[in-house]
Structure 1
């Protein structure tokens, strides 16, 4: 398997798992929801799904990413769902969303089984956290857009993701 790297402050980190590609069938995964309940990607099979992956909600860049996607959610109809996923505990995600008024995205925690991180190639081996990035899955369950942000302290390319979403409308 090809070794993939990202950086954090210029220092190399290893991504575990195969990089997902546009056109592939989106792997089904489970994350933990707000009440520690398992939530499956299959629950959103009739929707376009935007996955916003990030390392930890308690960092400025991750917070900015969360706010951006919460605002972006107002631009789309009910056929688009935004999942924000990290290895933060559900309690931390709930606390953050309540304090920051984040109410238009669904938060999922990958801390328990790392299923999303492994199946989508977002897991950082050295940190046991997810790398930053975006995945868009169409209603046909195929991957339509993927971004693995090469420097984890940088924000994703929101405009490219928005353009990919517009093309699905």
Structure 2
């Protein structure tokens, strides 16, 4: 997979996923400093990976999904980054984020590696989106080719609306 960060190629570790794959397990850290794994999630889910929640592009993405998530009943949105849970919690509180769950992959990087978004040289996650149905099948995948660009909001939301 060829991804770029600010126009420069980046090496990404892990498995490249595609629609139809079974979502891999992971363990991230929630804002209460507790482990959060795939088994702790259910229903239709949107998993977003971002380099850092407290940057303009990631901020806009998370705010957009916070607003749009409330329009799709039964869909849970997760934003995963390498930011520490303290920073994520503070950012969410300061920005009124109530419809997106943030979690950190800082400890084990299992999300980044299992979903093919861990940028080795930068120690950050590449921007990507994964829609997962209630039977843990991936129905939509987007690895954003230029990490500093936004994902295709409409395609992700439409895939989530269609997932069961």
Give the TM-score taking structure 2 as reference length.
Answer: 0.97
Q: How big is the alpha-carbon RMSD for the aligned residues of Structure 1 and Structure 2?
A: 1.0
Unaligned runs of 5+ in 1: none
Question: Are 2:29 and 1:29 equivalent residues in the alignment?
Answer: no
Q: Trace 1:29-68 onto structure 2 (pairs within 5 A).
A: 29-45=26-42, 47-68=43-64
- State the distance in 2 between where 1:158 and 1:110 align: 23
Residue of 131, 137, 140 corresponding to 1:142 = 137
Q: Trace 1:1-169 onto structure 2 (pairs within 5 A).
A: 4-45=1-42, 47-77=43-73, 79-168=74-163
Query: Which digits, 9 at most, give the CA deviation of each residue in 1:98-130, with x for residues without a partner?
Result: 111111111110011000000010100110100
Which ranges of 4 or more aligned residues in structure 1 deviate by more than 2 Å? none
How far 1:166 moved relative to its partner?
2.1
- State the distance in 1 between where 2:101 and 2:161 align: 21
How far 1:56 moved relative to its partner?
0.3
The number of residues matched between the two structures is 164
How far 1:5 moved relative to its partner?
2.6
- State the distance in 2 between where 1:162 and 1:90 align: 26
- State the distance in 2 between where 1:84 and 1:48 align: 14
- State the distance in 2 between where 1:88 and 1:82 align: 17
How far 1:42 moved relative to its partner?
1.1
Unaligned runs of 5+ in 2: none
| Contact 2:72–2:161 (Cα < 8 Å) also in 1 | no
How far 1:80 moved relative to its partner?
1.2
- State the distance in 1 between where 2:160 and 2:79 align: 16
- State the distance in 2 between where 1:13 and 1:44 align: 30
- State the distance in 2 between where 1:50 and 1:134 align: 7
How far 1:41 moved relative to its partner?
1.5
| Contact 2:21–2:138 (Cα < 8 Å) also in 1 | yes
